[in-house]
Amino acid sequence: MRHPLSDDARAALTSLHLLAQRIAWLVRRRMGRVDRELVRVYLERGGERKLHLGCGLHPLEGWLNSDLFPTERTILHLDVARPFPFGDELFDWIYSEHLIEHLPFTGGQRKLRECHRVLRSGGRIRIATPDLAFLLALYRDAPSDLERDYVRRATSLYYPSAAAPAAVFAINNFFRNWGHRFLYDEATLRDALARVGFVDIARVELNQSEHEAFRGLENEGRLPPGFLELETVVLEAVRAGAPALAAAD
């Protein structure tokens, strides 16, 4: 007699199946010429070169879109935890949204160092990432209406058995969900950029920039109105001069 699988066992088998699929996909992709051809065609097309790291389901037109597990053949496989598959000083613009927090702090430094290396002198980077300050602000005595809505949604989605919405549920979820490894505040992200050689570091508004290439990039549609702006810090910076020496992690 066959015994039905428990929910935990079924979930574990599903995870193993997905992992096997990803490994098989990665082997096929690495053995082929898909990624080398994507890079070659993009770099030979002329004009400004723009690298989008961790595009997920939001590829950008005119950019070399990349992701760890691309969902389309036109998206480059790129693991930001490893050296980038490019020569030095190739790109004019680099952008990543809600990606660096998926790396440990030292991994984030290596990613930023690689970004500095592949940017041309005068090239610019834009980093959007969850802001630790927004999580701490959820504990204020008088949260805003938007913050209360945020807490209510996080509690109902991820802790449906909770007696009532509370900031503690939103905070725990943000640290434990989605593979987050290290959450930055503005000061720490500024320092991380400066340590690898970036200059003229400035905080900017979501989807706003002095530079046309950086306008309208953040994917606000994936969350209820106002939520992405609430939880995100966005910094832009410039690569100046020769590549920075590797800093001790």
List CB contacts of 178: < 8 A, sequence separation 6 or more.
102
- The burial class, CB within 10 Å (0-12 / 13-18 / 19+), for 72 is exposed
Q: Which residue has the higher pLDDT, 50 or 25?
A: 50
Is the pLDDT assigned to residue 248 strictly greater than 50? no
Residue 2: predicted pLDDT: 47
Is the pLDDT assigned to residue 81 strictly greater than 80? yes
Q: How confident is the model at residue 249 (pLDDT cuts 50, 70, 90)?
A: very low
The proportion of the chain whose per-residue pLDDT surpasses 90, expressed as a percent, equals 76
Condensed to tens digits (0 to 9), the pLDDT of residues 157-204 reads: 999 999 999 999 999 999 988 999 999 999 999 999 999 999 999 999
How many other C-beta atoms are found inside a 10 Å radius of the C-beta of residue 45? 10
Question: Structural domain boundaries of the chain?
Answer: 1-32
Is the pLDDT assigned to residue 246 strictly greater than 50? no
Structural contact between residues 104 and 216, judged by C-beta atoms closer than 8 angstroms:
no
Partners of 93 in the beta sheet?
A: 50, 124
Q: How confident is the model at residue 6 (pLDDT cuts 50, 70, 90)?
A: low
Say which amino acid occupies 185: D
List CB contacts of 63: < 8 A, sequence separation 6 or more.
50, 51, 52, 55, 93, 95
Give pTM, 2 decimals. 0.84
Greatest Cα-to-Cα distance within the chain, rounded to the nearest angstrom: 71
**Which SS3 state, helix, strand or coil, does residue 229 take?**
helix
Condensed to tens digits (0 to 9), the pLDDT of residues 127-146 reads: 999 999 999 999 888 899 99
Is the pLDDT assigned to residue 76 strictly greater than 90? yes
Chain position carrying tokens 């992992």:
19
